[in-house]
Amino acid sequence: MAGRLLTAAPYHRLWTNVRTYSYVLAMTQSGYLVGRGLSDVTGEPAGCGMLGYGKADQISAGLHTRLRTRAFIVVDAATGRRLLISVSDLPLMFDSVFREVLRRLAATYGDIYTDDNVMLTVTHTHCGPGGYSHHRLYNMTTHGFHPLTFNAIVDGIVESIDRAHADIAEATLRLSRGELRDASVNRSPSSFDRNPESDRAHFPDRIDPQTTLLRVERDGATVGAINWFATHGTSMTNRNCLISGDNKGYAAYHWERVVTGIDYLAETEPDFIAAFAQTNTGDMSPNLHYGPGRGPTDDEFDNTRIIGERQAGAAAALAELDAEELSGGLDVRTTYVDLSDITVRPEFTGDGQTHRTSHVMGGAAALAGTDEGRGFPGFKQGRNRIVDGLSRRIIYAVSPRLRDAQSPKGIVLAGGLLNRVAPFVQERVPVQLLRIGRLYLIGIPGEVTITAGLRMRRAVADVVGADLHDVLVAGYSNAYIHYVTTPEEYENQRYEGGSTLFGKWEAPALTQVAVELATAMRDGRTVDRGDRPADVSAKLRSARQRPPDEPGDDGDFGTVLVAPGAAYRAGQTVTSAFVGANPNNNLRRGATYLEVQRSAGTGWIRVADDGDWSTKLSWRKQGKAGSRVTITWDIPDGTPPGDYRIAYFGDVVDASGFLAEFSALTKPFAVTP
């Protein structure tokens, strides 16, 4: 089944903006073994602050699409060396998750999977539950640490890796690249334009259009794929409170479920798994009309689907190429650096001088937000006269080093000082370089702009002798440090510059570290691993516990409050509502809160669940501890006529902590031609 999707001719008509290329690589007798794994990392759908936009009033109130995680293990058959790449539909990757995943893997596999060969990265949706960091900055708008969401994420990632480990088998890898030009725009063109012509000429449209596909084949059929393309997970706006994988989550869903037809709730491993990863996406936006929820339409749900379909279509077009096998061994170098105190050599700073990074400083422009989502009132992108003046006359006048590192940023947050009181933001971070044949991935724990990424890629490519297109920045990897801009972009102090926490020389510092890793890899040397960041989990502040469930005055749990009508046609929406329970009682990972069922003979079969694009579950608190759950089904085109019904599955927690399941069914309704 997975092989048939590759002959889908309509993709060539739909994705006219995609130009494809393939690499002709020498073959090797040793080859690769590859394992694939898929699992569920959906956190709390009710009352959990969402992460990405930093808005305290964006609190989860239901579920549109489940968040998934996909793991790929690549083994060099000749040497036994292996690499693990995990891509999760999550807002950010934190040291908290990275550390706990590695701890659990060590308990099962010993030293097979460590921070030496594991890359955990995310798609950067802005509509996932937060509160899973051990650093307080990221839990400020999520109302504290949420152990339930944290464990759902860790459990799901480890589960997908376990499945990938069990799935390891002989495979062929093929590497292709192309261009996708209608899924991103540059949201900070004035910053981009400050870069020199030699950089700007590489991106004539101010975007990075490269889309790269690593394809996994078994017996001639495509069974897995990792796609890298730079666009933000912000098609859904900060007004949305339903959990969503955003455009990259939809891209994976579209290729896996819509095109290939896999069943996420099946007990067997799927025939095909597709991950859509980020690269240097710091200034890349999917909002093609430059505004929240704007572009290509004025509907955020349509935008999410369309931008996701374009990425999936570009990847599928690449998968149809008759590309030669990827060959060559595997290699990796990982180091931990104190990004607050790196001396950057003149060949990386660009001005012929030596400079140093500084402790974390947040800028006024960071609080202003972006054109995709407004921030706090009173702040704006660019210059903030009062804050800038105070920083210049007081902070920078007292500390020449800070002035050299952070000016002209208007400082509103001194993260280094706050770290002395409590774990506020991570400063010691991992930097990684992975090689799979001729593909190089620079693992950076931040949001790298396309030009900052270009400079890193060029520097690494020059050292290892690779084609520039074979070297990618893998952003959001293994931790999080906010943004990475070029010194020229930093001077503009738009949102990205204000969010470049370690100052003007942060990107040159990371480029310097990446070059050191590349040089060691080229020469076959080990690197100084550096000191891992301290474990700060003991200093967490958890969110308040919720009270036991109460049904309220409208009936017992499961009572149908709004019943569907008698008949519908494709394109219409079926709505039902129930006396429910808090969905956080049981996150139902790998299962579902709802089903759309169709009558089939003497029974009913599931045709959609809470992981499908066509369904939505909305939750609303009722009174002190009551819940009202609304389920909608947008009937897809092509839905067969027949009798259907909606099923709702809930779980009640009583005062003693006992968990009891219940279910509810609506009366049947007809779908007519």
Q: What is the pLDDT of residue 277?
A: 98
Mean pLDDT for all residues in the chain:
93
Per the model's pLDDT, the better-predicted residue between 109 and 17 turns out to be 109
CA dihedral sign, ordered 238, 241, 245, 247: negative
Identify any residues that bridge with 509 across adjacent strands, giving them in sequence order. none
CA dihedral sign, ordered 126, 147, 447, 179: negative
pLDDT at 379 over 70: yes
pTM (two decimals):
0.95
**Helix%, strand%, coil% for the chain, nearest 5:** 25, 30, 40
Identify any residues that bridge with 26 across adjacent strands, giving them in sequence order. none
Query: Mapped to the 3 state alphabet, what secondary structure does 560-610 carry?
Result: EEECCCCEEECCCEEEEEEEECCHHHCCCCCCCCEEEEEEECCEEEEEEEC
Q: What is the pLDDT of residue 156?
A: 98
H helix intervals, 167-244: 189-192, 197-200
Number of residues that make up the chain: 673
pLDDT tens figures, 329-355: 999 999 999 999 999 999 999 999 999
Q: What is the pLDDT of residue 30?
A: 53
Q: What is the pLDDT of residue 20?
A: 42
| Encoded tokens for 100 | 């706990």
**Cα 130 from Cα 141, distance rounded (Å):** 9
pLDDT tens figures, 625-637: 999 999 999 999 9
Q: What is the pLDDT of residue 548?
A: 86
Mean pLDDT of 606-623: 97
Q: Are the CB atoms for 225 and 214 separated by under 8 Å? A: yes
- Among the listed ranges 151-165, 266-280, 379-393, which one has the minimum average pLDDT value? 379-393
Domains of the chain: 3-323 (no CATH), 334-533 (no CATH), 560-672 (2.60.40.2300)
Mean pLDDT of 650-656: 90
What are residue 613's phi and psi, to 5 degrees? -65, -30
pLDDT at 456 over 80: yes
Mean pLDDT of 247-256: 98
- pLDDT tier at 547, thresholds 50, 70, 90: confident
**Cα 445 from Cα 106, distance rounded (Å):** 22
Residue ranges with strand state E in 17-113:
18-22, 32-40, 46-51, 59-63, 68-76, 82-88
HSE toward the beta carbon, residue 271, CA cutoff 13 A: 15
pLDDT tens figures, 481-495: 999 999 999 999 999
Q: What is the pLDDT of residue 14?
A: 34
Identify any residues that bridge with 443 across adjacent strands, giving them in sequence order. 432, 474
Per the model's pLDDT, the better-predicted residue between 539 and 64 turns out to be 64
pLDDT tens figures, 40-93: 999 999 999 999 999 999 999 999 999 999 999 999 999 999 999 999 999 999
Q: What is the pLDDT of residue 583?
A: 97
Q: What is the pLDDT of residue 385?
A: 84
Whether 285 is a known active-site residue: answer yes
End-to-end CA distance of the chain: 29
Mean pLDDT of 607-625: 96
Per the model's pLDDT, the better-predicted residue between 377 and 414 turns out to be 414
From the list 285, 391, 407, 618, the catalytic residue is: 285
- pLDDT tier at 203, thresholds 50, 70, 90: very high
Mean pLDDT of 193-198: 98
State what percent of residues in the chain have pLDDT above 90: 87
pLDDT at 179 over 70: yes
Cis ω before 408 (30° cut-off from 0): yes
Q: What is the dihedral of CA 443, 449, 453, 455, to 10 degrees?
A: -140
